[in-house]
Structure 1
Amino acid sequence: MPRRQGCPREPDSAAPAKRGRGGRVVDSPGRDAVPGLRVHITGSALAGAAYAVAVWQIGGMPPSTCILGGVLCVLAGMLPDLDSGEEDSLRESIGFAAAVVPLLMIHRLQQAGLSLEAIVLAGAGLYLAVRYGVAWLVSKYSVQRGMLHSLPAAAVAGQVAFLSFSTEEPIHRYFVASSVVLGFLVHLILDEIWSVKEGQFGPKFKTSFGTAMKFYGPEAWSNLLSYVLVVALGVLSATDAHWSEKTLPARQYVRQQMEQAARSMPSTPAPWNYRR
């Protein structure tokens, strides 16, 4: 069954669509009708780099955390196009997400007391769940320019990143989650910019204008599901943040005691150092 279309991707005019480089539809010379993957990656990369450098210089965030936030911003800049119906965009975006999510979950799995073998198996399960399970759900039920292109979807992406990434410093979690939201919003803003073209008497808005930066779509069930996810993940995020900040002093104390005990323990000499 063909995928439903939430909004047209072709130019508004009834004339035959002009094809540009790579077969993309263009509505004016030198400009695509919709921003391509390269434009979204470039925009989110610039925004992520600027955000990471600013937080590093002003907020004193560790460089490794800043780099992670920048990379996640680029990844989030590709996520809204999961509903585009293009196999290349879906495969690349899901592939990146499937690889990154298990890595973000490593510390949380360690906090759960799992062994190394269990962490490896859990990571493999998460990869398969995202790579094939999420990909199947998106390809079957998503609508082009549907609720994946919306502000609630940006909030859901940020909340998922917040819950996945666990660290001893709460501010690092907020930075990583906000980086994901930033990349998502950059994608939506670029889509809205591309929905405005030059007309004979000034700017002309295409029918796709307003379908990216929106709070709700035309289908009630997708709107309901989106806001249920926002509320549910919001409650989980708030609960997890409260618990993490409440238990942070105790966890820091335990870690300090373990480090002191490790330093005070005498090192065991190698077998060849024993005297016979």
Structure 2
Amino acid sequence: MASYRGHLKFSSMLAVANGLLATFYFDLDWGTSLMAAGITAVSGLLPDLDSSSGVPVREMFNLTAVVVPLMLLKRMLGFGLTEDQTFAILAILYVFIRFGLSNIFRHLSVHRGMFHSIPAMVIAGGLVFLCYTHDSTLLRVYMAASAMVGFLSHLVLDELCSVDFNGVSVELNQFAGTAVKFFGPSLFPNLFAWSLCIAVSYFAWVDFEHHALAVKDGKKPNSDGLHVMPPKVQPLTKTIKPVAQPFSQL
């Protein structure tokens, strides 16, 4: 079984590759590229939220409690709330994730349970799609895919570490098949994981259809390309307009 540092190094390498891909292939601005890279790095550690060890789980819940409200900030402002109301909601969400959700995970989850599974990967991608707000649907899909790639990297690395090779023969240890899976041995975790997977996928599809309908009705701009980003920074000579005439013209 791969260690926490092993997963951190692996997901960080994927994050760097994803950031370079976003910058040089899709021509995204540096802020969006860093966001995609960060989502990949964090998602590569998410499956270990069900771990029984203390420090990595606490660090992950601290990070998740900060990142999720930040991703929801733009969506909250779009609801017509004031800045104080938005801040209050996001603060409550932070407290819920940091203390409430972490306790729920600690009591209900089992390490290498259904949180280490393909449905959990889909749930992570769907939640990122719902939380990340942008006029470009394709960009939201890209962010969701970044999360799923990071999540899948954790599962694949766990499976690779479950193979013991002594130079002559290949043997599988007790953890083989417990990461990349669709179903677990228990009925209730399977029902819960798949129900949540279907629910998140449904809400993501409804949000996608709602955005498409808004674009069709002209309520939102048609921004379906990855290249539809905030404009790149222009030189100061083009950005700053002269406020006075030159001395030669006075």
Verify same fold: TM over 0.5: yes
Look up the match of 1:190.
157
Q: Structure 1 segments of 4 or more deviating over 4 A?
A: none
- What is the match of residue 251 of structure 1? 220
Counterpart residue number, 2:94: 127
Task: Give the number of aligned pairs.
Answer: 220
Partner of 2:136: 169
Query: Aligned equivalents of 2:104 and 2:92: distance in 1?
Result: 17
Choose which of 145, 148, 153 in structure 2 pairs with 1:178: 145
Q: Quote the Cα distance in structure 2 between the aligned partners of 1:51 and 1:252.
A: 27
> CA-atom RMSD, angstroms?
1.4
Higher relative contact order (CA 8 A, sep 6+): 2
Alignment partner, residue 119 of structure 2 = 152
Give 1:213's match in structure 2, choosing from 165, 173, 180: 180
Conserved 8 A contact 1:65-1:172: no
Q: Does 1:224 align with 2:215?
A: no
Aligned residue number for residue 50 of structure 2: 83
* Aligned with 1:108 (options 65, 75, 85): 75
> What amino acid maps onto 1:150 in structure 2?
S
Task: Tell me the CA shift for residue 158 of structure 1.
Answer: 0.7
Give the deviation of 1:200 after TM superposition: 6.4
Amino acid across the alignment from 2:208: A
Q: In structure 1, list runs of 5 or more residues that go unmatched.
A: 1-33, 254-276
Per-residue deviation, 1:59: 2.0
Does residue 67 (structure 1) correspond to residue 34 (structure 2)? The answer is: yes
Instruction: Give the C-alpha shift of residue 227 in structure 1.
Output: 0.6
Match of 2:230 in 1: none
Q: Distance in 2 between matches of 1:200 and 1:55?
A: 40
Paired position in structure 2 for 1:50: 17
State the distance in 2 between where 1:100 and 1:65 align.
Answer: 15
Measured after TM superposition, the shift of residue 175 of structure 1 is 1.3
Structure 2: which amino acid aligns with 1:138? Answer: F
Measured in 1, the distance between the counterparts of 2:61 and 2:147 equals 15
TM-score, normalization by structure 1? 0.77
Range moving further from structure 2, 93-102 or 165-174: 165-174
* Aligned mates of 2:51, 2:73 — CA distance in 1: 31
C-alpha displacement of 1:75: 0.8
Letter in 1 for 2:52: G
Distance 1:245 1:106 in 2: 22
2:183 is paired with a residue whose SS is coil
Cα distance in structure 2, aligned partners of 1:41 and 1:145: 18
What displacement does 1:125 show?
A: 0.9
- The Cα offsets for residues 184-237 of structure 1, whole Å up to 9 and x where unpaired, read as 111111101111112363111101111000001011000001110111111100
Name the counterpart of 1:256. none
Aligned to 2:60: 93
Structure showing greater radius of gyration is 1
Q: Which runs of 5+ in 2 are unaligned?
A: 223-250
Amino acid at match of 1:218: P
The answer for the alignment partner of 2:110 in structure 1 is 143
Q: Secondary structure at the match of 2:219?
A: helix
Given that 1:155 and 1:181 are in contact with CA atoms closer than 8 Å, whether structure 2 keeps it comes out as: yes
